Amino acid sequence: MRLDKIDLNLFVVFEALYRERSVTRVAAQLNLTQPAVSNNLSRLRETLDDALFVRSPEGMAPTPVADNIIVDVRKALELMRQSVGPDARFDPGRSEKTFRLGMNDLAEYLILPRLRGLVQAEAPHIAITSCYLARETATADLKSGQIDLLLDAPAINARELHQTALTTFPYVATMRKGHPLRRGKLSVERYIASEHLHVSSRRKGRGHVDIALNKMGKQRRIAMRVQNYLAAAKIVQETDLVWTVPRVLAGALSMKYRELPFDVEPLSWNLYWSRGAEEDPANRWMRQKLSTIAEQVMPQA
């Protein structure tokens, strides 16, 4: 039997009849006419090929088939009541929801291990899916529910979304062991005289470091541009390229680093979600978890 061929409202009438044993009381309770209740019962009888209820001195008595299915019908109706409407609730301990999070590989590296540890005891059946989300499609993906939450720089300004600042990460300069910049004073001149590695998911465009240097009338040479932070870490360890990276990642990867000889705006992370998900208890629960993790990461920044 295909579920898409069944009017699920019929089971609401079925459950009420099983409980009340009276077409008249069910009609009043569900704000239906008695003929409408009788019609719904006839349709469900035809669908399930059973009388379901027969008249008796005590009212509408359920058949064995009705007795067999009532427990599952009530469970299904209760799950639907919990999932929709103003009384919707979210039980982390029982939920099997898959949260779909938009983030880059830096966020995955810093956030997901902590997130798994934080939710495992409280929500053992919840699953998490992470994927990269282009800013051009972020608003549409959040509004449609394809993505539950997006963690990104504060570069998305859409009226259809809510957002909150999570954390900021200062930048430092990293280089391989034995690199000339590891010795002596790190001046702006020595910094820009080196060849640099830059991480970005975009094909072109300036980063925070380049914007800061431009304000000083200076420019660095980017010899390699990649889209993955962990790949960049491997490249820096095996080449003479200098990588300017959030300090929190340098520390997490046990990479030696030096403070920059000029001011650079730190990397900022915002959390975005659809306005339609503002009151969703599951979405609120995950937002709280991500905010907690941001606080844990911040002291290392």
Summarised one tens digit per residue, pLDDT across range 202-244 is 878 788 999 999 999 999 999 999 999 999 999 999 999 999 9
Residue 244 in domain: yes
Q: How confident is the model at residue 201 (pLDDT cuts 50, 70, 90)?
A: confident
CA-only gyration radius of the chain, Å: 29
**Same domain, yes or no: 102 and 154:** yes
* Cα–Cα distance, 25 to 195 (Å, whole number): 82
Last residue of some domain: 83, 111, 136?
83
Q: In this predicted structure, what is the pLDDT of residue 133?
A: 84
The domain in which residue 63 lies consists of 3-83
Inter-helix orientation angle 34-48/23-30, to 10°:
110
Strands 127-131 and 257-259, by their bridges, are unpaired
Summarised one tens digit per residue, pLDDT across range 1-39 is 566 677 888 999 999 999 999 999 999 988 999 999 999
Query: Residue 66: which CATH number?
Result: 1.10.10.10
Residue 30 in domain: yes
DSSP 278: T
pTM, entire model = 0.69
* Number of folded domains that form the chain: 3
Q: Reduced to 3 states, what is the DSSP secondary structure of residue 225?
A: strand
**Same domain, yes or no: 64 and 211:** no
**Same domain, yes or no: 155 and 275:** yes
**Same domain, yes or no: 261 and 186:** yes
**Same domain, yes or no: 109 and 240:** no
